Chain A
Amino acid sequence: MRDKKVRVLLAKPGLDGHDRGLKVLARGLRDAGMEVIYLGLRLTPEQIAQAALEEDVDVVGLSCLSGAHMVLFPKTVGLIKEKGGGDILFIGGGIIPGKDIPGLEAAGIAMVFGPGTPIGEITGFMKERVRRRGVDNQD
């Protein structure tokens, strides 16, 4: 068997155009040996969910700096879970007030990374939490 790669989908739901953080993270994950499917910005939760399922990713990273995260993150996570992506790890980033974090966690976001988070902290978290899914491990 070839080496398994952690596959990560990065996307910005909603209308926010601040993509510096997501682009930096994409490069950082690549340099940590992961495969990043970069989905870009101005996406609906439905579009992100469809892509996450077609790409069979291990992790979905959502970014939002416009303040719409409480609407867009839970909706995206919910759609993906509903359509069969229940074992995907979800992470979030952006301008997220601390008081919103419990709500996002309840919605299925495993961790929220704010501005200034070192890339190594994010890759470390992901590597630890991603137990590569797939039938080969279940035989």
Chain B
Amino acid sequence: MTPEIARLVGGMLAGDKPSLARLISLAEDDSPHFPEILEMLRPRLGKSYCVGITGPPGAGKSTLIDRLVAVIRSRGLSVGIILVDPSSPVSGGAVLGDRVRMQRHYLDEGVFIRSMATRGSQGGLSGGVQAAVSLLAASGRDIIIIETVGVGQTELGISGIADVVVLLLVPESGDDIQAMKAGIVEIADIIVVNKADREGAERLAEQLKAAVAPGRTKAVPQVITAQAINDIGIEALYRAIEKRRKGR
């Protein structure tokens, strides 16, 4: 452990955001120091609850998170958010734009937001995500939210990290359900049908309730309808998450 890393860890534990941010970068860059850092933080882990939120592009994940964070904060809980977007397979670069929708939380000391690219990793999650979750947990965040783009089986990685997986769909996703059944729908604990004011929302919700594949090992997912943009259904989602968090 270099003195610099000790300083960063100390800073992070004292609530210093730049120290936490720098440690996440080290995790993301797979620093050789990282296993050592993690070992040191191990006693501090286990208190946070990790919520994975996934769904197809355009389903409204970032908006939902923005609203959900407002509810979580109103209960006095602190939040860490990890927003994962794909890296370009051609250049290796990425445009990470999800943060835009969470502007109102920028100055809230109880919210820490971090954008990460997949950097070519399998399962749709960059190798650094698990480590970043640990860091956020060690820094004392009550709830950690991970947002990933879910387009099918590539997103299964989220279930290995999150305590609860929320799948976000929109009425237009109906056609894709069959294709997705074997994948993401199977790992969801909670399914939110967003933009529920649109045609086909009820039908999709019914379909989902009926469409639990035989041989499913997890409990039947809870289906919630919502209009994130209008703050409808967010409280119900929060309660569903909270019930699982308390029942851990």
By a beta-carbon cutoff of 8 Å, the part of chain A in contact with chain B is 1-5, 7, 26-27, 29-40, 43, 46-47, 50-51, 53-56, 83-85, 134-136, 138-139
Q: Min CB distance, A131 to chain B, in Å?
A: 14
Interface SS majority for chain A: mixed
The CB with the most chain B CB atoms within 10 A, among A46, A50, A54, is that of A54
A135-B5 in contact given A2-B30, A85-B18 (Cβ < 8 Å):
yes
- Chain A residue nearest to B128 (CB atoms) is A2
Q: Which of B26, B93, B97, B99 lies in contact with A51, CB distance below 8 A?
A: B99
**Bound complex: CA of A37 vs CA of B21, how far in Å?**
14
Let me know if A32 and B93 touch, CB within 8 A: yes
User: Cβ of A134: which chain B residues have Cβ within 8 Å of it?
Assistant: 22, 25-26, 29, 31
Q: Which of A34, A38, A53 lies in contact with B97, CB distance below 8 A?
A: A38
Q: Does B175 touch A at the CB level, under 8 Å?
A: no
User: Cβ of A38: which chain B residues have Cβ within 8 Å of it?
Assistant: 95-97, 99-100
Let me know if A35 and B107 touch, CB within 8 A: no
User: Cβ of A26: which chain B residues have Cβ within 8 Å of it?
Assistant: 95, 97
**Bound complex: CA of A135 vs CA of B33, how far in Å?**
10
**Bound complex: CA of A139 vs CA of B33, how far in Å?**
11
**Bound complex: CA of A47 vs CA of B8, how far in Å?**
23
- Chain A residue nearest to B23 (CB atoms) is A56
User: Cβ of B117: which chain A residues have Cβ within 8 Å of it?
Assistant: 5, 35
**Bound complex: CA of A139 vs CA of B32, how far in Å?**
12
A50-B92 in contact given A35-B117, A135-B26, A135-B33 (Cβ < 8 Å):
no
**Bound complex: CA of A55 vs CA of B31, how far in Å?**
17
Q: Min CB distance, A114 to chain B, in Å?
A: 23
**Bound complex: CA of A1 vs CA of B107, how far in Å?**
33
User: Cβ of A85: which chain B residues have Cβ within 8 Å of it?
Assistant: 18
Let me know if B115 and A5 touch, CB within 8 A: no
A50-B106 in contact given A32-B93, A33-B92, A56-B24 (Cβ < 8 Å):
yes
Let me know if A5 and B22 touch, CB within 8 A: no
The CB with the most chain B CB atoms within 10 A, among A26, A35, A84, is that of A35
0/1 per residue, B73-105, Cβ < 8 Å to A? 000000000000001101111111101100100
Q: Does B123 touch A at the CB level, under 8 Å?
A: no
Q: Which of B21, B94, B119, B127 lies in contact with A54, CB distance below 8 A?
A: B21
